Structure 1
Amino acid sequence: MKRYLLPLCAVTFLSSPVQAEEFTPSYTEWQRTAQNPLSPNFRLPLEYNFYGNAPAGNVNVLSFAPIMPIKFDGWNIINQLTLSVMWTPGDITGIKGLPEPYTGDGHGGSDGYAAGLADTDFTSYFSSTIGKDFTYGFGPTFTFPTDEPTRELGSGKFSMGPALMLVYQPKQWTLSLEIQQIWSVFGSSEREEVSQMIVQPSIYYNLPQGWYLLSDMQMVANWRSNSEQRWTVPIGAGVGKLFKIGENAINSRLGGYYNPVTPDAGPTWSMNFSVEFIFGN
């Protein structure tokens, strides 16, 4: 009996890591999760955006946008709250949250720049899947004027509207499209009404060991501007790396974009960097 005990223990010891590995998501699975904003995982992303070469100066935006899912049988509610700190000289548009050029009386320093809390966004997607590769979501989006209406760190208006997201993930690709449209409801009478649309197509191509290439061009349309000053259309690309940490993951990415179409008061290029902690289900 004893002579069978050692081989049995050895087999058990050797098989345990294999069995544990079966329950650990692979890089491919984590990449699909990280690149699908509608996946029902709790996330904590931190993103920095720099918008350069606008006539009035540059804009810096640091955003914290936790994603908080609520799971149902066959459906999910994907809630995202976006808190942003902005640094801007004013008189800049062509950016989400800055629908018209404006310079208020809230400058924060001798260089003419203002800094502080920008408008706060909240979006809630009702989401489900078709097959294993296609995810869709729809719901409302809101913008709250959390900056002072006399400053240039936001729109000065409470706005709301519909949002739609489609995500398709064949093999090592992720293709997605997000569309949001907001209209102002009430706010400062000194500020212009808001009608702004965000269209963001995204393309990801996954590489081994958590690496991937990406292009997520956030196009902005301010409908109250005349047709020559309405659109911001970027082109560009970036690179990302996903790191597995036990049952969780960290997703990091860096991108740069040039705006061949931009309003006269808008930036001509931008860059962004983000780090996101993703919790496993």
Structure 2
Amino acid sequence: MKKMLRIMALVVAAQPVVVLAEGPSAEEMNASNNPLTPMVTLNVHDQYVGRSYGLDDKDSNAVLLRGTIPHKLFGLPQMVRFTLPVATTPNLPPDGSKTGSGDLNLFNLFLIKGPGVEFGIGPQLTIPTASHDQTGTGKWQAGMAGVVIAPQKWGLLGGLVTWQHSFAGDSDRPTQDNLSSQPFIIYNLPDTWYLRSSATWNFDLKRGNYSVPLGFGIGKIWKLGKETYNMFMEPQWTVAHDGVGVPKFQVFLGLNVQFPR
């Protein structure tokens, strides 16, 4: 996380020259933050948890390697998104901290545009690719994902909802039944800066655990050649929770790169 923060500081410090040479428009700013924009996108995100409930305030971290690819299978506009986490677990006895790959998540959205609103809905699948028991569930999971986006002149309103349930895998591992909701708001500022709030609410439907964080952060968008870059940092505080291991405080930061069609 410290390396990513140093990279962010260096990039932001260099931005006045880049923005003056080729600054993205308001439409391009919205497109850079819109998860339904039909462009090839690569993301490197980091979710640093500074403290967790019931774990002696031990920290943990997850680097999310994510990509989005638009396509038109069967002639219908769609996009597929993959996410592969690389997680570092809290340093707790008896195993201590573990670092390794997590479970690979995929979902495919069918894209629909209405007046003033955009929709994406489709199936999702999680594959148990974790390199350690501590960094994954050991379960195959399937479910649905849905996105709603309402572009505004000043930014974006929207949300992502996913649900999945385990159907196969290690019989010794707990059954999974999870719902997540990520409401977000983007408010554009001058000079291609923006404010953001995009914390994900997680609900363990099987055991009744949940966490509801709220975030407030800032981001910067710029162009290098034809690619659009988007870097952000968003501290998030949990305002409601139940269960052991849910975060008290976390920092979500990352870099998104969109490639021209």
TM range (shorter): 0.7 to 0.9
Instruction: Indicate if the aligned counterparts of 1:156 and 1:191 stay in contact, CA closer than 8 A.
Output: yes
* C-alpha distance in 1 between matches for 2:91 and 2:120: 34
Q: Deviations over 1:145-194 (max 9, x none)?
A: 1115x621011100010111100012112001111000001011111100
Per the normalisation by structure 2, the TM-score is 0.85
Q: Does 1:249 align with 2:228?
A: yes
* C-alpha distance in 1 between matches for 2:74 and 2:113: 12
- Secondary structure in 2 matching 1:29: helix
Tell me which residue corresponds to 2:41: 43
Q: Which runs of 5+ in 1 are unaligned?
A: 1-23, 92-102
* C-alpha distance in 2 between matches for 1:255 and 1:219: 15
* C-alpha distance in 2 between matches for 1:238 and 1:77: 30
Q: Does 1:208 align with 2:177?
A: no
Change (3 A) 1:25 1:140: farther
Q: Does 1:79 align with 2:80?
A: yes
Higher strand share: 2
Correspondence for 2:100 among 106, 111, 116: 116
Instruction: Indicate if the aligned counterparts of 1:74 and 1:128 stay in contact, CA closer than 8 A.
Output: no
Change (3 A) 1:157 1:73: closer
* C-alpha distance in 1 between matches for 2:202 and 2:46: 18
Tell me which residue corresponds to 1:67: 68
Larger radius of gyration: 1
Q: Residues 1-281 of structure 1: matches in 2 within 5 Å?
A: 26-54=24-52, 55-56=54-55, 57-71=58-72, 75-89=76-90, 107=95, 112-131=96-115, 133-148=116-131, 151-226=133-208, 230-262=209-241, 263-281=243-261
- Secondary structure in 1 matching 2:195: strand
Shift of residue 90, structure 1, vs aligned partner: 7.4
Instruction: Provide the alpha-carbon RMSD of the alignment.
Output: 2.1
Q: Which runs of 5+ in 2 are unaligned?
A: 1-21
Change (3 A) 1:25 1:41: farther
- Secondary structure in 2 matching 1:221: strand
* C-alpha distance in 2 between matches for 1:236 and 1:179: 17
* C-alpha distance in 2 between matches for 1:188 and 1:72: 33
Shift of residue 89, structure 1, vs aligned partner: 2.9
* C-alpha distance in 2 between matches for 1:142 and 1:261: 28
Shift of residue 27, structure 1, vs aligned partner: 2.4
* C-alpha distance in 1 between matches for 2:86 and 2:199: 21
- Secondary structure in 1 matching 2:257: strand
Instruction: Indicate if the aligned counterparts of 1:27 and 1:209 stay in contact, CA closer than 8 A.
Output: no
* C-alpha distance in 2 between matches for 1:73 and 1:194: 32
